[in-house]
Amino acid sequence: MSKSSFVVHQDPVWREHSNFVINAYLPETDQTREFEQLFARQISDDRFELCCIPFFLFDMALGDIVRTAPTGGRQYVVTEVETPSGRYVFRAWFGESSYPRTEIEETLKAMGCLVEWSSRNLLAVDATDDAHAQTVADFLADQQKARHLLYETGRS
């Protein structure tokens, strides 16, 4: 078996609630066994609440209840979202933008968002519900139009 590589969360937003780390296959690299490690709170033997904002996964969000199963020699790999939290994920990519990243981060926090940095260029953003998500999407769309960042939603 080839060596697996992982995307990790250095500062998960609900770290204080988490008591476990689970794995999920990254969407474009299923064949190469690359994973995103997710901080989670164990609910039962195979069910967990996500305690971080996914950086690369689609259709998973902070607070979702997911089911895991042994896969490819790993004990806890996400197989499905059992109970969606109703929260939304956005990802902002700053790339070569010279616009201050901290200004956008602070504005998002002031809007009630939780945020996690994956790297200097990639910020994951959590919105609590439909109305909040629309406000965040409008803000990020304006920032994208001004060429400060590129953004996407975490839903397929």
Q: Which helix (H) or strand (E) holds 144?
A: helix 130-145
Which domain-ending residue is among 83, 118, 141? Answer: 83
pLDDT at 31: 52
**Looking at the structure, do residues 21 and 62 belong to the same domain, yes or no?**
yes
pLDDT at 23: 94
Buried b (16+ CB within 10 A) or exposed e, 77-95: bbeebeeebebbbbbbebe
Query: Where do we find the tokens 């609630």?
Result: 17
Select from 136, 140, 141, 138 the least CA-distant residue to 126: 136
The count of domains in the chain is 2
Contact present, 117 and 101 (Cβ < 8 Å): no
pLDDT at 83: 98
> Does some domain include residue 102?
yes
- How many beta carbons lie within 10 A of that of residue 34, not counting itself? 17
Q: What is the pLDDT along the chain (156 residues), one digit of tens a residue?
A: 456 688 888 999 999 999 999 999 887 654 555 889 999 999 999 999 999 999 999 999 999 999 999 987 889 999 999 999 999 999 999 998 888 999 999 999 999 999 999 999 999 999 999 999 999 999 999 999 999 999 999 998
pTM: 0.91
Contact present, 116 and 12 (Cβ < 8 Å): yes
**Looking at the structure, do residues 79 and 107 belong to the same domain, yes or no?**
no
Query: Where do we find the tokens 């968002």?
Result: 113
pLDDT at 20: 97
